[in-house]
Structure 1
Amino acid sequence: MLIPIPCVVMRGGTSKGPFFLHSDLPQDEARRNQVLLAVMGSPDRRQIDGLGGGDSLSSKVVMVSASSRPGIDVEYLFAQVSVDNASVDTSPNCGNMLAGVAPFALEHGLVAADKPQTSVRIYNQNTGKMVEAIVQTPGGKVNYEGEVHIDGVPGSGAPILLNFMDAAGAKTGKLMPTGQAIDVIDGVEVSCVDFSTPIVFIAASALGKRGDESKAELDADNALLARIETLRRAAALRMGLGDVSDKVLPKVVLLSPPTAGGQICSRYFVPWNCHAAHAVTGALCVAAACHIPGTLAHRLAQLDPAAPQQVTIEHPGGQLHTQVTQAGTDAEGWPHISKAGVVRTARPLVAGVTYVPGHLW
């Protein structure tokens, strides 16, 4: 017997995957994870028996529910489903898939729409942080069509503004989890920053790279990937994240000066290969790091003195535009970044039911 589960497959930013009402899935975590593996067709490199696309960017799941928290409209839990391993990781957030949460919630009646736009306050269960999503809702209906183009996605769509509120210490509890702007690991300078997601920053030049290489070029360099993983695991211990050999956090970013009119050039690893474009949460951490004196990002960034809050990040698929709001310093003397925002687009691709083997339920 096959069990039908209602879902909507949505593109959110440069990623895509099924969105579920949390109540439509098993409440037991282990059983839910088995169901999600079956939904996506993992573990299998092609994910031929599921909805996954054989790539980490299309092997993602979002679960949404109404919230009883004061000042919060909905809650969402993100899951990164491994393509070729039987693992489901809910430790990271995904800012791209987050772009679809507010439209999904509006379409399912979890939030009442305003006119001409609706602000949806979202609690991210992965990080314990709040995000404000502003969606275009002329006539009280979600509008997906518009003129906003984001690099890495064909065509254009209606803007969805995501404001990440007080996102410092998303996983470690500290903006600077090692307490230093620069750490030296095995002779390599790194900056460990946790804003919306924890990242280990490395200057591309320190690993013999320009920093503007293509994803294919970086993914083909097995020695580089091995070196990055060694540094990532060592940095994670210093950040208080423990053994991350089977975890996707922290991520790694190779940084270099901009070459195409932006403020900084970034190559974001997911973490065992290079992202085809750039994760939103990763971009916000890059932007935040550009405002933290002493970090590698601050050292390499070329901020515009007339608009220092605007940080355009160059990535393999083009550029990603962010905006950072700084308000004084935190208790440890680091910059207090109260808000960081980015514009994404999203749209539903197909709605219906997905089927899983009955014995998994």
Structure 2
Amino acid sequence: MSDQETVRCVLMRGGTSKGLYFHESDLPASGPRRDRLLKRLMGTPDVLQIDGLGGSRPITSKVAIIAPSTRDDADVDYTFAQVSIGDDEIGYNGNCGNISSGVGPFAIDEGIVPAVDGITVVRIHNTNTGKKLVAHVPVEDGKSKVDGDFALPGVPGTGAEIVMDWSGTVGAKTGKLLPTGNPVDDIELSDGTRVAVTICDAGNPAVWANAEDFGLTGSELSAEINENTALIDRVRELRGRAAVLAGLCADWRAVDRQSPGIPLAGLVAAPADYETLNGADIAARDMDLRIRLLFMNRLHESIAGTASICLAAASRVPDSVPGKISANRADGLLLAGHPSGITPVRVEGSPDHFGLLGFSRTARRLMDATAYYPRSTF
């Protein structure tokens, strides 16, 4: 077309997120030109992303950039980008656990990694954090398998189970599981209240606090949180002050600009019966705790994959905020109740050495696409 250019991409669902997956060789080099292209493809900035491929929610405005790895201990290099929606911004300062679950299938189906029928192991170097994660991808007839009996809360139906091991991502951004060295820190907010938090870094950095300290029960859904501007402002301040303590930004007031997305902010509560976004009844006996995660200043409809990793790790730290709520199960699982259901996270070992820190996800290629963008973008 005379006034448009094209770029190849794959639209994939990875876990409970959806995004555009690219070969790095199909994009401009890292920098402003690449950023401008990705934002234009998504339709950012616009709260509806109506003139692009984004879905107007943080979980549908994501990008994965993949290439053969430059490291001997990895098969692919993977860069994650979170494209803002209403703001003209794009962030690379963390990883996404859900989008990560699509990297292995993409690499296999695109011929970057040789397919091995049964299970193909894909070693993934995440360039955002410099850490390595490992995907165990079901394969059949040389392609990643889609059909299976694994059910993922927040995704309709079932699919082939992809097991992701994140034990190599402890200290992803700060170099330490506990960036401050403390299982609990007291943070004083501008309104004079003091909040006990656990700042933990595995998968992605996150700050965990008790839901009751923010006037919540832990069973709230989207409308009750997203429309509560006072609550959102308090959690933003909590996130900002935790980011300063973790060395992720210099001024808590500028956290959305200096450290967008991380640390994640989670409000935890003891098990209780509640109703999901889809109207399903969840029983207290089926979970170890409840979690309401705020991501990009909105309630996450389920739980981010990296947040589940961080939560599981933090739950094994003695005297931590999540640790005081959840008990160490003999089966090596943490069962986290979130707005879409219950997610099991595998956690084996201790904070000194996690032998396994991971979760299972499903992924599906939705479209192999030629994306168009106006030539005037540049």
**TM-score bracket relative to the smaller structure:** over 0.9
Task: Give the letter for the 1:2 counterpart.
Answer: Q
Deviation at residue 352 of structure 1 after TM alignment: 1.9
Query: Does 1:294 pair with 2:319?
Result: yes
Provide the residue aligned with 2:275 in structure 1: none
1:4, distance to aligned residue in structure 2 (A): 0.7
Counterpart in the other structure of 1:360: 377
Q: 1:211, 1:271 → 2: CA distance?
A: 19
Aligned-partner Cα distance in 2 for 1:233–1:115: 46
How do 1:1-361 and structure 2 match up within 5 A? 1-186=3-188, 187-242=194-249, 243=251, 244-246=255-257, 247-259=260-272, 260=284, 261-304=286-329, 306-307=330-331, 309-326=332-349, 335-360=352-377
The CA distance in 2 between the partners of 1:336 and 1:274, in whole Å, is 31
Q: Distance in 2 between matches of 1:217 and 1:280?
A: 23
**Distance (whole Å) between structure 2 residues aligned to residue 348 and residue 139 of structure 1:** 16
Q: Where does structure 2 lack aligned partners over 5 or more consecutive residues?
A: 189-193, 273-283
CA RMSD of superposed structures (Å): 1.3
Deviation at 1:194, TM superposition (A): 0.7
Identity %: 39
Q: Corresponding residue for 2:276?
A: none
What amino acid is aligned across from residue 345 of structure 2 in structure 1?
Answer: T
CA distance in 2, matches of 1:105, 1:136: 13
Q: Counterparts of 1:339 and 1:127 in 2: how far apart (Å)?
A: 19
Deviations 1:241-294, CA, capped at 9 Å, x for gaps: 114232211110001112232111111110401101110100010011110001
Distance in 1 (alpha carbons) for counterparts of 2:263 and 2:70:
30
Alpha-carbon deviation of 1:3? 1.4
The superposition leaves residues 328-348 of structure 1 with CA deviations (integer Å, 9 ceiling, x where unpaired) of xxxxxx533243110000101
Any conservation in 2 of the 1:10–1:17 contact (CA below 8 Å)? yes
Contact 1:291 1:335 in 2 (8 A): no
C-alpha distance in 1 between matches for 2:42 and 2:354 = 37
Alpha-carbon distance in 2 for matches of 1:293, 1:222: 33
Unmatched tracts of structure 1, length 5 or more: 328-333
Secondary structure class of the residue paired with 2:29: coil
Q: State the alpha-carbon separation in 2 of the partners of residues 76 and 287 from structure 1.
A: 24
Contact persistence 1:264–1:302 (CA under 8 A):
no
Shift of 1:138: 2.3
Q: In the superposition, relative to structure 1, how do residues 24 and 208 fare at CA in structure 2: closer, same or farther (>3 Å)?
A: same
Structure 1 residue 130 displacement after superposition: 0.7
Could you tell me how far 1:121 is from its partner in structure 2? Answer: 0.5
TM-score if structure 1 supplies the norm length? 0.95
Cα displacement string for residues 296-349 of structure 1 (whole angstroms, at most 9, x for unaligned residues): 010011333x32x2111100000111111225xxxxxx5332431100001011
TM-score by length of 2: 0.91
CA contact (8 A) 1:148 1:159 kept: yes
SS of the residue corresponding to residue 166 of structure 1 reads: helix
Q: What SS does the corresponding residue of 2:129 show, helix, strand or coil?
A: coil
Paired position in structure 2 for 1:330:
none
Question: Secondary structure of the residue that 1:170 maps to in structure 2?
Answer: coil
Determine the C-alpha separation between the residues in 2 that align with 1:274 and 1:335. Answer: 32
Q: Take 1:142 and 1:191, find their aligned partners in 2: how far apart are those partners?
A: 38
| C-alpha contact 2:316 2:328 (8 A) present in aligned 1 | no
- Following TM superposition, where does structure 1 have runs of at least 4 consecutive aligned residues deviating by more than 4 angstroms? none
